Structure 1
Amino acid sequence: MNDAWIGDVAASAWLVPILFALVVGDAFLVVLPSEAAVVALAALSTSTGSPSLVAIIPVAAAGAVVGDGLCYLIGRRIGLDRWHWQRTGRIGTAITRVRSAVHRRTAVLVFTARYVPFARIAVNLAAGAGRVPLRRYFPLSIAAGIAWAVFNVSIGAVVGELLGDSPLVAIAISVPTAIVLGLAVDRVLASLDARRASRLAGLADSAEAPPGPVTPP
């Protein structure tokens, strides 16, 4: 297959703005392939030289921060119960799980939720509705957005470097690789969260257990 045309696509001035829009939109619509877009452009960059990685990382991170910040503001203004989708389905389940923990585990939730689509929406809405102080939330959101952008760009860049002569093949391999790694991260985080919940439940049961009989001296 002749890949010469891919260089013209890679050099398009529209790619980076479209990436920003995708990442912002993905904060609300999990069907938008923002991770795949970041990975694909990183693979394209290292394969063809365009678009620049220097542009992809900050733009992806900025889109993540803006999207999550908008979710935070919606939660702060609207709350968690006004719309039907907030109370049902996977988003409703995720909101129920995080709304009571968002103050105690703000940093952990903001960082890990970036890799779990429905949790991302839930955490940011719950942070806003729970009035997590912006001076606490915003720096965490920035750090999480940068970490997420670097993670996905790194995957695309590594594959693109290995398959520099075949940019389309690099994209075709890097995107499924990122999806598999994302699912692995999701499973690990879910396992750790389940263990933590089980441990806390055990501690609560121990605290509520009545004391044993006192043996007279």
Structure 2
Amino acid sequence: MSEHDLTALMAAQLDRHLVFPLLEFLQERQLYSESEILEAAAPLVAFLQNPQLVQEFRPDKQYNIHMLQERYQIGPDQIEALYQYAKFQFECGNYSGAADYLYQYRALCTNSERNVSALWGKLAAEILMQNWDVALEELNRLKEIIDSKNFSSPLNQLQNRIWLMHWALFIFFNHENGRNGIIDLFFQDRYLNAIQTNAHHLIRSTIATRIP
């Protein structure tokens, strides 16, 4: 049956942390210096860990950035360090902490590409914590961004759709409404075209959802 194993094809489209449940062993991970990252991110991390201070945030991203700079001398370098710190937490397996910091980072980030990267990271963290309802919300949020006319390029858009469908399998095979979800996503014209273009193996996953 090895010739029917899709692990290699699936793994190529997944964050390596999402491969862990499939392979059941840890891959070698890149090491980060926590002290160096924390030194730059410390002021913003301390701010975010204080509920009273976080209440000062508003839906207006520019207001938040200006407020942090004026009142707490927290600028772009510290905001960018928060992304690296969240990534470090993710690499260490602290998915809850990573999800929280990435959520806050997205509320401050003005770089669209970095914002999308942070959303991918938060989606991965929610999947790994098996928070299926939250993961589905993040999946839909990411889909909306990917399908927007302002996305970077058609080729990049295609690749992101393929990634999204692979990651979605973790959610749809565990969510109570997953069978309908996978059909709704995979049979949309743009996603069906992505399957036919560069992800034929996903057809088997789609067929599996139709079998009682």
Does TM, scored on the shorter chain, surpass 0.5?
no
TM-score, length basis structure 2: 0.27
Structure of greater Rg: 1
Q: Answer 1 or 2: higher relative contact order, Cα 8 Å, separation at least 6.
A: 1
TM-score, length basis structure 1: 0.26
